[in-house]
């Protein structure tokens, strides 16, 4: 299926070329103009366009020589950036006369758009530009020259790294061979290559015109790359706000290629995305959200509120759900994501503390925050929560299964009811979260991340924590198994293992085999020890954000947790001997 069906189609004439242009949405609304790259046609944008059409007038066109647009004759010299700029102006004048358009470009579409937004003759026709996986050739040329003039080991490494990623450009400059490959075996295998390597789903893309599109598009490189890289323009400054979205897994472009871009773009917003090159197909939800936010801010004439929190370029706009968010590590984690511009769902069994966390998140920078009340050990209640969240807010991007309870006491003193309670919250709560929200992530097919709060007790045996340690060890192994299973779906899984953190878990923990008075005495003593240790939950929250940003598997947080983790790997016998020591009560 292609969502471009039913769109309004027109032909626009530009310099002897007929351009195929389609429109979606209300023409009276701001126009968002999507420009495709190589070797694509406008259909690469179909999923993004459908998501934008409710808010904007969305326009797509086949670049000359691609899709249903005609090709120049002869091909040589027919794809220069000057001619492509003529095409853009013709389309913009036809679909949005008298009103500037918001440009969005991917790959060679972005390369073109950088030209449009930095040349004098387009001033006043562009309201904003969102760039994806395609640099300005002028900026690229200056980037290369600066490293050649002042070489250092780091700069030479950057040049070599980008050179390795740009291997295909040399091949596209060879005569005849690219055309033969695309019209032959490469063209037939390309859809399978995209599905296997980039996890690009089907659905109206690539189109049947791919072989001829790719053959014609080789002239984009031949007509432009070498001349511009040799003689980059000295005045290639952007005259409109720019949003740069950098896929961190792009096999063709280094993130370092955009170092120093602020020199050329006075109004620059940076975003990063854990994805490959073809993000219009693999991450349409996130792109549509970021484009909507950016375009709306420009249209409203207000500066976009820039989050200042940890990894804000990555998490701004994400939907994050945190269980056990009413206090401690859960609240600190919710607030850390809020400071980074994420939308936060604060979930706790205590309605009051959940509501307070949501309020603090809104004050702390979250564009939106909501409170939900649920007992994570209740499968039916968790199912209702997952359905409600999906219906009201969409699919969660980051899930933090943090809810947990403490239980201390010898194994022989721990009753079946004690085991049911601690496993119900600490293990089954995690299982329910992973099962329900993880399935939604997988079915959406646009990646995500799951964080499960385990504990240093997961790899540190203790004679007084058999039930708690068992539940946390199970969470650790569940996380490892799930990480392996979901890796192919672009979903990361992290087990965070804190040690002693200054939260209220000690003061609320239960103690098996003692009466109420003794239990209260031990709770108070445990709370004092935790306060004396005074390791703040905010440090655990920072570790969680770092773990998601870098897709880490197992993250011991406190010094004692890191030490126990090392001992469990290299000196497990020492940990077993320590486990026999009876702690003072």
Q: How far is CA 279 from CA 201, 325, 549, in A?
A: 11, 32, 18
User: Which alpha helices (H) appear in 173-267, and where do they start and end?
Assistant: 177-183, 185-193, 210-230
Sheet strands (E) in 342-420: 343-348, 369-373, 398-401, 407-408
Take residue 240 and report the two structure tokens written for it: 């409109």
* CB contact at 8 A, 11 and 67: no
Which residues does the annotation mark as catalytic?
468
- Residue the block writes with tokens 């070329």: 17
Say if residues 318 and 398 touch (Cβ distance below 8 Å): yes
Burial of 341: CB neighbours in 10 Å, binned 0-12, 13-18, 19+: buried
Query: What's the CA dihedral at 563, 431, 314, 540 to 10 degrees?
Result: -30
What's the half-sphere exposure (Cβ side, CA atoms, 13 Å) at 182?
21
Q: Two tokens at 248?
A: 């961190």
Distance, in Å, from the CA atom of 253 to the CA atom of 233, rounded to the nearest integer, reads 21
Cα–Cα distance measured from residue 127 to residue 13, given in angstroms and rounded to the nearest whole number: 23
What H or E segment, with its residue span, contains residue 157? helix 153-165
3-state secondary structure labels for all residues of 414-441? CCHHHHHHHHHHHHHHHHHHHHHHHHHH
Residue 125, SS3 per DSSP: coil
| CA separation, residue 397 to residues 284, 312, 394, 400, 446 (Å) | 13, 14, 9, 10, 9
What is the secondary structure of 349-361 as a DSSP string? SSHHHHHHHHHHH
Alpha helices in 7-107 (DSSP H): 46-52, 81-95
What does DSSP say about strands 31-35 and 491-497: parallel, antiparallel, or unpaired? unpaired
Cα–Cα distance, 459 to 476 (Å, whole number): 9
């Amino acid at each position: 299926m292609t969502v471009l069906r039913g769109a309004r189609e027109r032909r626009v004439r530009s310099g002897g070329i007929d351009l195929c242009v389609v429109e979606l949405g209300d023409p009276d609304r701001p126009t968002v103009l999507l420009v495709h790259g190589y070797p694509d046609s406008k259909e690469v944008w179909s999923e993004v366009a459908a998501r934008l059409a409710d808010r904007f007038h969305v326009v797509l066109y086949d670049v000359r020589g691609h899709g249903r647009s005609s090709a120049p004759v002869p091909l040589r010299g027919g794809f220069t950036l000057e001619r492509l700029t003529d095409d853009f102006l013709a389309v913009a004048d036809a679909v949005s006369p008298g009103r500037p358009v918001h440009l969005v470009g991917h790959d060679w579409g972005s390369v073109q758009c950088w030209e449009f937004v930095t040349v004098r003759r387009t001033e006043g026709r562009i309201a904003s530009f969102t760039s994806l996986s395609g640099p300005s050739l002028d900026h690229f040329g200056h980037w290369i020259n600066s490293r050649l003039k002042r070489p250092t080991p780091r700069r030479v490494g950057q040049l070599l790294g980008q050179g390795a990623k740009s291997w295909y450009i040399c091949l596209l400059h060879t005569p005849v061979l690219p055309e033969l490959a695309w019209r032959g075996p490469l063209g037939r295998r390309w859809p399978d290559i995209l599905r296997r390597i980039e996890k690009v789903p089907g659905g109206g893309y690539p189109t049947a015109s791919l072989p001829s599109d790719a053959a014609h598009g080789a002239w984009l490189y031949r007509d432009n790359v070498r001349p511009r890289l040799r003689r980059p323009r000295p005045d290639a400054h952007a005259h409109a706000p720019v949003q740069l979205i950098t896929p961190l897994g792009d096999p063709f472009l280094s993130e370092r290629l955009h170092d120093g871009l602020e020199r050329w773009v006075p109004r620059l917003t940076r975003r990063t995305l854990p994805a490959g090159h073809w993000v219009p197909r693999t991450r349409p939800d996130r792109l549509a959200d970021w484009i909507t936010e950016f375009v709306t801010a420009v249209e409203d004439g207000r500066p976009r509120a820039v989050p200042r929190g940890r990894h804000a370029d990555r998490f701004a706009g994400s939907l994050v759900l945190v269980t056990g968010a009413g206090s401690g590590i859960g609240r600190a984690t919710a607030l850390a994501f809020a400071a980074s511009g994420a939308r936060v769902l604060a979930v706790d069994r205590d309605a009051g503390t959940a509501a307070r966390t949501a309020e603090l998140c809104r004050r702390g920078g979250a564009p939106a925050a909501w409170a939900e009340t649920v007992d994570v050990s209740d499968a039916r209640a968790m199912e209702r929560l997952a359905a409600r969240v999906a219906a009201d807010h969409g699919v969660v991007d980051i899930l933090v299964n943090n809810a947990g309870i403490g239980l201390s006491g010898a194994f022989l003193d721990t009753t079946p009811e004690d085991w049911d309670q601690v496993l119900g919250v600490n293990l089954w709560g995690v299982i329910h979260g992973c099962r329900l929200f993880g399935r939604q992530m997988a079915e959406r097919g646009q990646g995500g991340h799951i964080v499960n709060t385990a504990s240093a007790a997961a790899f540190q045996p203790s004679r007084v924590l058999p039930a708690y340690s068992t539940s946390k060890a199970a969470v650790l192994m569940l996380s490892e198994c799930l990480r392996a299973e979901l890796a192919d779906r672009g979903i990361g899984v992290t087990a965070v293992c804190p040690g002693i953190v200054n939260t209220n878990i000690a003061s609320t923990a239960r103690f098996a085999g003692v009466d109420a008075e003794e239990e209260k005495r031990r709770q108070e003593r445990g709370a004092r020890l935790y306060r004396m240790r005074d390791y703040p939950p905010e440090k655990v929250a920072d570790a969680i954000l770092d773990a998601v940003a870098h897709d880490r598997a197992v993250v011991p947080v406190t010094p004692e947790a890191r030490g126990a983790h090392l001992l469990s790997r290299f000196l497990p016998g020492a940990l077993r001997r320590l486990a026999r020591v009876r702690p003072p009560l």
